[in-house]
A and B are shown apart, each in its own frame.
Chain A
Amino acid sequence: MSSQAAPVEAHGHHDVRPIRKAAMWVFLGSECMFFGSMIATFLLFRNETADGPGSELFNIPFTSASSFVLLMSSLTMVLAHNAFGNRDARGTRIWLAATALLGTVFLAGQIFEFTEFVHEGLTLSSSSFGSAFYMLTGFHGAHVAIGVMMLMAMFYLSLDGRLYDDRGLNVELVGLYWHFVDIVWIVIFTVVYLLQV
């Protein structure tokens, strides 16, 4: 039996960062199930439009543009994290702000898209297709909104140099969450939009 398998140093502070990251990864694994269930629901009802409007409403060029915005926000997020790791407070602040801005643009695009669709007669209650579509993209949007709030909290902390204090939330964890929201959208973009037109 190997006694070298000790995962944690015997004394002194635990380095809390790996613990938090482990919990964040578990949480993200759990979120896969959450979004997976909703994507499966959407696939089940992809043709249940009750003779009303369905996927023909999708404006692929527009959604591609907003998908691109969200994808690029992952770049700015990882640059923020990189600056954070180099203890470059100014760089962190700029890239955090850029990420929050891109996230907000994405949300604005989603609100615009929803408004259009409702005008065309696709609502939460118009058909099972509508129910599944709005539930999936709506919960994703809610995740983006929460992410934007966390980014703004980080930005606020960076203003007076408190970014490196030992707190429950930090740039790295916000980053993992943000990238996750992005990869969920990668799947939604393919399954909901590209595969249905």
Chain B
Amino acid sequence: MVIDTSKDLVPARPTGIWSWITTVDHKRIGMMYGITALVAFFVAGLQALLIRLQLTNANGTVLSADAYNQLFTMHGLTMLLIVVMPVGAAFMNYFIPLHIGARDVAFPRANAFSFWLFLFSTVILLSSFVLGGAPDGGWFGYAPLSTQLEEYVRMDYYAVGAQLLGVASIMASANFIATVFTMRAPGMSLMRIPVFTWMAVVVSFLLIFSLPIFGVGLFQMFFDRNFGTQFFGGGGDPLLWQHLFWLFGHPEVYVLILPAMGIVSEIIPVFSRKPLFGYPFVVFSGIAIGFMGFGVWAHHMYTAGLGPVAEAGFGVATMMIAVPTGVKIFNWIGTMWGGKIRFELPMLFSIGFVSLFVIGGLSGVTHSVVPSDYQQHDSYYVVAHFHYVLFGGGVFGFVAGAYYWFPKWTGRFLDKRQGLWHFWLMLIGFNLTFAPMHILGLNGMPRRTYRYGEGLGFEFWNQVATVGSFIIGLSFLIFAWNLIRSRKHGELAGDDPWDGRTLEWSISSPPPVHNFDEIPVVEHVDDYWHRKYATDEEGRAVRMPDVSGGTVAADTDTGGDDSHEEDMHMPSPSYYPIVAAAGIGTMGYGFVYLPVGWIVVGIGALITMWGVFGWSLEPVTRGGEHE
């Protein structure tokens, strides 16, 4: 077939459910990650509210101990693996190609596969509630508790679900790394990449190198439960699981927070109307956090009895990781310093991020001190700490990103009045919920216990926390309503509503399927800003008259020949990714219910083979030369 009419050069945006199932467009895949994660966020929020109701009064009667164990385990698993990581993946999918001036990620079909496998593993994990009970051994799944009771499928759901999520993440990460290292637009040297994309690269490396370790641990747990191996029981060693788990679990913490840091590093310069203060420092401190994040895992294991040498070493390493984190805080403050700050919603949430993250970071430093940690271990003080970092940090950052980029996704603003309600309710509710937990923890309230006795003095602050948690819930209902309504009825935003600095604002909102009509040629950090503004003698930015928003073709003499029409061939849609992922998901269900499940595993393996072989042998591009 010969396609050579000019209108075919710009692929049309297909519609309908089949087009979403077969899509390989990174923007649609990003959207689907985001929507799935948002739904899971409400599920996890509901779990949290049930936990809070149970703990409101001494000897709570809302939940049984069994239900409580399932809920706190699944709240952790859902928030970490099915909400925050995928929200990060949503932003990365959508914005890595836009930030580096590419038309798609390196492997569009593998990208689709990663999403579908993530979705099926999510279904597996969440469906466990109605199929014999959800995992109840904590998100950390410590052996030997997690390897007991072989007839009891709950921790098999954990082993299988987390394993498949890991496979999906490894593939997605390899994809992002290949994309950033090989598909950047001309002139987009590594030190011109937007900070968010840099953080995405660091996150991808962390996942690539930490998830396989977790994978081995999960296999061992699964084998111990189902095949009678002796990794953690018998002649084995339960501490091996703790090492394997935290070798993944600690880098995972940075996987969760670095994308939010990247988002905030994009937002603060735009709303301060200044370039990011010390761009190389922000980038290198992110890389340093990534490296050091691999060297501090055992600070989760102080009370396991590592011995004084290991504890001292890990304690010092943990304190040192506060340094690159602190560097970033100062860079954000330095960016705002002397800037013309506009308190738009993304900026408010970003400032919320910085403030709350500082509190969480400081309580984190107190954990690094070994004797102090002995007292805090397994108390609510720890719960307070990581919620300040992951909710006050992570979720605030992602919400900031949602308000910032919603106009790029839809062409419309999120409603500002509702957004302000969301912000203040979330800020107040968050602090009401989690600040009291510092006090509860230092007064000795243990975590992961389903009730506490009377007369311990825990009631008052628990009641405050419960009230706060419902305020957070209310704020997110407002947010959900805002998202749904503004998608069709929000105020029109145009292509560049915030006077943005990075390449995604140079194209239309929502972006066309092929992203860039012409691949831009990049000359600066914040290249799009430099196309809009020149500098006068006193160093002030002066808007150049001739360039407005919209599609700015950087058609300089460095690259204007006609051959660009060729790479308008976008990758063809394919249903093989969802077939392969469905096959693996089927195998997952089979593995949970061994030995009966072997039949299901077999069926799943056949489906997987069909998907994988069809996929690896089908031609890649549509309208290519050779068909």
Contact = CB atoms under 8 A, between A and B. Distances in A.
Contact of A131 (B173, B230, B564): B230
Question: Which size bracket describes the interface of B in this complex?
Answer: 35 or more
Interface in B149-180: 170, 173-175, 177-179
Nearest to A30: B208
B567 A168 contact: no
A128 B244 contact: no
A26 B174 contact: yes
Contacts of A153: 613, 616-617
A6 B187 contact: yes
Contact of B213 (A27, A33, A166): A33
Interface stretch (A42-50, A68-76, A89-97, A176-184): A42-50
Nearest to B179: A19
A8 B626 contact: no
A107 to B, nearest CB: 18
Interface string B551-595: 000000011010110110000000000000000000000000000
Contact of A169 (B191, B215, B616): B616
Nearest to B559: A10
Interface in A1-58: 1-3, 5-14, 16, 18-20, 22-23, 26-27, 29-31, 33-34, 36-38, 41, 44-45, 48-50
B227 interface: yes
Interface in B377-426: none
A172 to B, nearest CB: 14
Interface stretch (B232-240, B354-362, B480-488): B232-240
Contact of B187 (A3, A26, A169): A3
Contacts of B215: 34
Given A12-B567, A30-B209, A127-B235, A167 B186 contact: no
Q: How large is the interface on A (under 10, 10 to 19, 20 to 34, 35 or more residues)?
A: 35 or more
Contacts, number: 175
Contacts of B211: 30
A102 interface: no
Interface in B203-228: 208-213, 215-217, 219-220, 223, 227-228
Contacts of B438: none
Given A125-B229, A131-B229, A168 B616 contact: yes
A143 B523 CA distance: 45
19 contacts: A3-B189, A10-B186, A11-B566, A13-B566, A14-B182, A23-B177, A26-B174, A30-B174, A30-B208, A34-B212, A38-B216, A41-B216, A44-B237, A45-B231, A50-B235, A128-B229, A131-B223, A153-B613, A153-B616
Interface of A: 1-3, 5-14, 16, 18-20, 22-23, 26-27, 29-31, 33-34, 36-38, 41, 44-45, 48-50, 124-125, 127-132, 135, 139, 153, 157, 165-169
Given A11-B519, A12-B566, 8 more contacts: A3-B523, A6-B189, A13-B567, A48-B230, A124-B229, A131-B220, A132-B231, A153-B617
Interface of B: 106-107, 109, 170, 173-175, 177-179, 181-191, 208-213, 215-217, 219-220, 223, 227-231, 234-237, 240, 244, 519, 521, 523, 558-559, 561, 563-564, 566-567, 613, 615-621, 624, 626
